[in-house]
Structure 1
Amino acid sequence: MSRTPTTRSGKQLPAAYLDTELLERLKLSPEVAWYLVERGIPLPDCPPLIKTPEPRDVPGAQFDPTRVDKVLNAFQQLRHTQGELAGQPLRPDPWQVAYILAPIFGWVRWDDDAGMHVRIIREVYVDVPRKNGKTTLAGGIALYLMAADGEPGAQVITAATTKEQARLLFGPVKAIVEKSPALKRVMQPLAGVILHPKSDSYFKPVSSLAGAQHGLNLHGGIVDELHEHKTPELVETIETGTGSRRQPLIFIITTADAGKRESVYSRKRDRIEQLARGAYEAPAVYGVVFAAEKGDDPHAESTWKKANPGYGVSPTRAALAVASDKAKQSPAELAQFLRLHLGIRTKQVTKFLTLESWTANGALVDEEKLKGREAYGGLDLGAVSDLNALCWLFPDDRDDSLDMVLRFWTPEDNIEALDRRTAGNASVWVREGWLKTTPGNVTDYTVIGAQIRKDLGHFDVRSLGFDRWSSTPLTNDLEGERAPMVGVGQGYKSMSPALKAVQRLLLQGAAAGARPMLRHGGNPVMAWMVDNLAVAMDPAGNVKPDKANAGDKIDGVSALCDAMSEVLARPPKRISAYEDSEFEVI
């Protein structure tokens, strides 16, 4: 819920900085917009394509403008080392202040253990095309964390996949120190490390897991060019090496990759997109992605400006014009231009079910009122140590809408791993009852079986669909007890009509003024899975869930499709919106 913005001093911001059309277009919070205007910094007209929420609603959250002032003052001590600006103070551009520095350093809360106000944001992801100054910005942040953040013995590192890549960031930072008189008086730039003797702190590059692990007690970590990291170990080691610090900061900078699934880049990018869409919450994580959209004309100047917040200064119009001309000559050059200069992942997966349409159908579902109602089920049993999902659908023939009841289980020992993939939300789901746990490290199918038998007695269950190629002792037992079990194929023939029916109902229910057509009660576990969904498509346009390319788990969607398949197969009572020639598989 939005609240009236205040600063650390308790000063209420003028009404002009509240939810206006301008701030929504620019993706600026009222607090950051107020700061920019108060400090005479122009409002940037280059909003990121994707931006996660600022932690405005965290209990005790306050925006402290003096924290941002301190960072900007520290940057003023830095000097440009190359080109026509050499020797001049390094002043962050308005877009860097608005979308990176002010949100990161401005939002604080009181921490009893630290006895001070600490930053709320601990992990930052900045995805921006080449030549937009992200390396210089990251270097300035590294120096600030080392020498001006008030952290004794601060260990700050920059991590890359090779020594050469790590020095691509460290080298310019070392040059900045050497060319900045104010810094040379308090720092010692050596061959492989920059020291700050007064606080016993240092900044150095690492390019291996062993280098990152050595004496790890990080206050700051800069991960450079995330898309070049082939494995997650180095990044994960840095992220987990900050446990004893009061307000550590991990700063990830990157350009877009081509869209490869299951890479460390893909996992981080997907998480930022999910947070921006509201699939779940993680106030300590903040990210921005500057990019054009796939439908934009790649050779139009308006597209160059849209994707590059530093356009006109760095990169220059001339540089992008040359790159655009080369891209017109070959598909390979075009793909490179799209990725490196426009931030477009050339192999992006298109969303088949949108989180917006799913959320719009999240009407309350009362299980007690469904007692005795005609029901069709779908059961998706995962691996012995993974997630399991059960979905019940209840047709309402008055308007062809459906009510949905969802149940999820996982072994209790899996919660820690699931927390890592959901920014701690799995534990919240368990506490709130959306996700049930079974004892130990493997699924106790007797718990699931007991719930199914209870549901069979509570609802008028006509059929319960399950993956016939993945039967288990549980499904065999239920079939032996003459439960209405039905094996459902997982190919295009069964899944395409079911998935298209789900899509159609969600879109109908999301239309302006429409009644929700697939009411699901707002289960957050399922919202996460819907947002993870990727689909495979055959030449005829038929679709099916694609677990291999999904962002993460989609067991609930699979269970929903099994249940919908059973709804579509029920004896017709009249012509139904579930039945449509468009659903037929050719």
Structure 2
Amino acid sequence: MRKLRLSPEVAAYLDARDIPWPEIPPKIKTPEPSGVTDAAFSFARVDRVLDAFSRLRHTQGPLAGQPLVPDPWQIAYFLAPVFGWIKPGGGRDGYVRIIRNATLDVPRKNGKTTLCGGVAIYLTAADGEAGAQVIAAATTKDQAGFTFAPIKTLAEKAPALRGHVKPFKERITHPRSGSYFQVISSAADAQHGANLHGGIVDELHVHKKGDLVEAIETGTGSREQPLICKITTADDGKPQSPYSQNREYLEKLARGVFKDPTVYGVIFAAGDNDDPFSPETWRKANPGYGVSPKADYLASEANKAKNSPVLLARFKRLHLGIRTRQTTAFIQTKDWRMNSGGPIRESDLAGRPAYGGLDLASVSDLTALCWLFPYSPERGPGYDVLWRFWTPEDNLDALDDRTAGRASRDWVKNGWLTVTPGNVTDYGWVKAQIKKDADTFDVQSVGFDRWNSSQLVTDLMDDGVNMVRVGQGYMSMSPALKEVHRLVRMGASGRPADRVPRLRNGGNPVALWCVDNLAVDMDPSGNVKPSKANSADKIDGVSALCDAIYEAISSGGVRESTYESDDLRVV
């Protein structure tokens, strides 16, 4: 089960129904919601979905006219987890689904469209919801037609549905329950009278803006067990796209950065370093390999890609599930967690030498202050790390949207994040905290990004705080970031009993979020620096840490090159 990423509950269901276990596990799978209070796994709920699917008929190819029986991998990794996990609620049997937002990310030709259609019809006509409104999102009216056509054909060709559902030109209705399914192509259509029971986003990666997807996700508030299904292939790695935001959130859930039992997702893909022309790689990425897609089809597509970088990138994305411009995490979150150590008690830090890093960022977003306290010679290399984070009150809702509510529910409530009044960060709060810290700790210096210098920096210098400009180019940031990486790896190596955290971060969840968002730029010589443009979200906590690390390792040396500052120009 561990190798195949099967939960005990799903494995038991497969065994009880004589369904073969799948052979190809997903690359990424978020946790199933077994830890929710009073959670239960209902065999009957999954049976009902599979029974509804069996009443549909294949409409194309050699299986045309035969019952639609989902493949074992579709049951094990999507249908059973999504529809099987329930908790007490107001449903017709006294229970409701736990999972409200589900994603299946899988290469082409693995039966996504048929699965998407079956889910749409089930939510419309078999989920027991009166007046169910079920919609599918398309990017254009033409795309809406392409999305609707195969689902309409499924409804038309199923003998068991005759007399129960009525397929029209642009809508499928279920008169008995007053429910309908239709495809829309604009956020305005989604918001018009929206009281959605279900939403289908087919090919999320083609959505360039998030307004339509967001309108669907926010239109389900009054339903007892709504379900949004996103079924897609990989994208080309564009940051901040709807696909990218969804993918990054699923990866954070899978890594344990966040916990959200209402969201579930599986991603099938090959590894970045796998041989794209090997049948083993094709099999690894395609759970339906051998049936759909056929081995000879993938061989033909791979052969076309051998002599064209463009076709190779396309083959990797569409048939191997590889985001062609994705970046690898510079700091592994599991290593970062191993450096958490015990809670950081500020009383224990009083009087100790401290090096600071200040990232003011945007006045309307996140501001970070980081203090580094070098270990004593007896403890060896390393630091205790203390962060302060601020955000303006008007930004909290946006931050909640990007962190599944953790910003207000955890970070603010537990003192990890301070909210300042208004729509911009009140630097007076930052100034007061730095002055207070300077009275408590033996502050050696505070490094800051010269591009974000402000009156705050001038005021602090007037108050006697040693504020030092730190360049954000490769010359300053590469040694700092590499030292962070070295310390984190050092603290995560060896046997658990022998590990000593080398960057003891106290489990600060805001800092962990910033670390998990981090992407880096690299020059031809292998120097690195944080990349705010390519990172998944805010990395201000890492930037402040790097400024502080640079101050600590510089120890009063030259901190900024005139070549970096652009103050020296050669003409």
TM-score grouping bracket, smaller chain normalisation: over 0.9
The answer on whether the counterparts of 1:139 and 1:169 sit within 8 Å (CA) in structure 2 is: no
Correspondence 1:250-269 to 2 at 5 A: 250-269=228-247
> Match for residue 403 of structure 2?
422
Of 488, 509, 512, the match for 1:527: 512
Alpha-carbon distance in structure 1 between the residues aligned to 2:126 and 2:83: 12
Of 424, 440, 444, the match for 1:462: 444
Alpha-carbon distance in structure 2 between the residues aligned to 1:163 and 1:234: 13
Deviates more, 1:415-424 or 1:159-168: 159-168
Superposed CA RMSD: 1.5
Deviates more, 1:34-43 or 1:193-202: 34-43
Correspondence 1:150-165 to 2 at 5 A: 150-165=128-143
Confirm whether residue 51 of structure 1 aligns to residue 33 of structure 2. no
> Match for residue 308 of structure 2?
330
SS of residue matched to 1:302: helix
Which amino acid counterpart does residue 263 of structure 1 have in structure 2? S
> Match for residue 370 of structure 2?
391
**C-alpha displacement of 1:81:** 1.1
> Match for residue 407 of structure 1?
388
Deviations 1:407-439 (A, max 9, x none): 111112211111111111111211122111112
**C-alpha displacement of 1:112:** 6.5
Of 344, 351, 374, the match for 1:372: 351
**C-alpha displacement of 1:163:** 2.4
Which amino acid counterpart does residue 445 of structure 1 have in structure 2? Y
Deviates more, 1:306-315 or 1:265-274: 265-274
SS of residue matched to 1:198: coil
Deviations 1:91-124 (A, max 9, x none): 1111111110111111111236999311111111
Deviates more, 1:307-316 or 1:439-448: 439-448
The answer on whether the counterparts of 2:138 and 2:147 sit within 8 Å (CA) in structure 1 is: no
SS of residue matched to 2:219: coil
Deviations 1:123-142 (A, max 9, x none): 11111100000111011111
> Match for residue 536 of structure 1?
521
Alpha-carbon distance in structure 2 between the residues aligned to 1:376 and 1:115: 60
Alpha-carbon distance in structure 1 between the residues aligned to 2:187 and 2:501: 50
The answer on whether the counterparts of 2:269 and 2:320 sit within 8 Å (CA) in structure 1 is: yes
The answer on whether the counterparts of 1:409 and 1:437 sit within 8 Å (CA) in structure 2 is: yes
Confirm whether residue 563 of structure 1 aligns to residue 553 of structure 2. no
> Match for residue 360 of structure 1?
338
Of 420, 425, 444, the match for 1:438: 420
Report the number of matched residues.
Answer: 550
Alpha-carbon distance in structure 1 between the residues aligned to 2:201 and 2:243: 11
> Match for residue 451 of structure 1?
433
Which amino acid counterpart does residue 375 of structure 1 have in structure 2? A
SS of residue matched to 1:26: coil
Correspondence 1:305-344 to 2 at 5 A: 305-344=283-322
Deviations 1:549-577 (A, max 9, x none): 110000100000000001101169xxxxx
SS of residue matched to 1:223: strand
SS of residue matched to 1:547: coil
Confirm whether residue 549 of structure 1 aligns to residue 534 of structure 2. yes
**C-alpha displacement of 1:238:** 1.0
Deviates more, 1:431-440 or 1:372-381: 431-440
Alpha-carbon distance in structure 1 between the residues aligned to 2:64 and 2:481: 58
Deviations 1:417-474 (A, max 9, x none): 1111111111121112211111222212222222111111111111111112211222
Alpha-carbon distance in structure 2 between the residues aligned to 1:203 and 1:540: 56
Which amino acid counterpart does residue 82 of structure 1 have in structure 2? Q
Confirm whether residue 140 of structure 1 aligns to residue 118 of structure 2. yes
Alpha-carbon distance in structure 1 between the residues aligned to 2:216 and 2:94: 24
Deviations 1:173-213 (A, max 9, x none): 11111111111220001111111000000011112233222
The answer on whether the counterparts of 1:193 and 1:204 sit within 8 Å (CA) in structure 2 is: yes
- Listed as ranges, the gaps of 5+ residues in structure 2 are 558-571
Alpha-carbon distance in structure 1 between the residues aligned to 2:508 and 2:144: 43
**Gap change, CA 1:408 and 1:82, over 3 Å in 2:** same
> Match for residue 569 of structure 2?
none
**Gap change, CA 1:112 and 1:253, over 3 Å in 2:** closer
**Gap change, CA 1:527 and 1:114, over 3 Å in 2:** farther
**Gap change, CA 1:115 and 1:185, over 3 Å in 2:** closer
**C-alpha displacement of 1:167:** 2.6
> Match for residue 278 of structure 1?
256
SS of residue matched to 2:368: strand
> Match for residue 503 of structure 2?
518
Alpha-carbon distance in structure 2 between the residues aligned to 1:183 and 1:77: 8
Deviates more, 1:335-344 or 1:563-572: 563-572
Alpha-carbon distance in structure 2 between the residues aligned to 1:478 and 1:172: 65
Of 108, 111, 114, the match for 2:86: 108
Alpha-carbon distance in structure 2 between the residues aligned to 1:392 and 1:62: 45
Alpha-carbon distance in structure 2 between the residues aligned to 1:506 and 1:441: 36
> Match for residue 36 of structure 1?
14
The answer on whether the counterparts of 1:280 and 1:524 sit within 8 Å (CA) in structure 2 is: no
**Gap change, CA 1:505 and 1:108, over 3 Å in 2:** same
Alpha-carbon distance in structure 2 between the residues aligned to 1:115 and 1:475: 62
Which segments of structure 1 move beyond 6 Å, counting only runs of 4 or more? 112-115
SS of residue matched to 1:414: helix
The answer on whether the counterparts of 1:410 and 1:443 sit within 8 Å (CA) in structure 2 is: yes
Alpha-carbon distance in structure 2 between the residues aligned to 1:114 and 1:174: 28
Correspondence 1:175-194 to 2 at 5 A: 175-194=153-172
Alpha-carbon distance in structure 1 between the residues aligned to 2:428 and 2:552: 26
- TM-score normalised per structure 1: 0.92
> Match for residue 475 of structure 1?
457
- Listed as ranges, the gaps of 5+ residues in structure 1 are 1-22, 573-586
Deviations 1:277-326 (A, max 9, x none): 11112211111111101110111111111000011110011111111111
Alpha-carbon distance in structure 1 between the residues aligned to 2:542 and 2:186: 39
> Match for residue 13 of structure 1?
none
Which amino acid counterpart does residue 311 of structure 2 have in structure 1? E
Alpha-carbon distance in structure 1 between the residues aligned to 2:238 and 2:199: 25
Which amino acid counterpart does residue 454 of structure 1 have in structure 2? K
The answer on whether the counterparts of 2:156 and 2:167 sit within 8 Å (CA) in structure 1 is: yes
> Match for residue 152 of structure 2?
174
Identity of aligned residues (%): 61
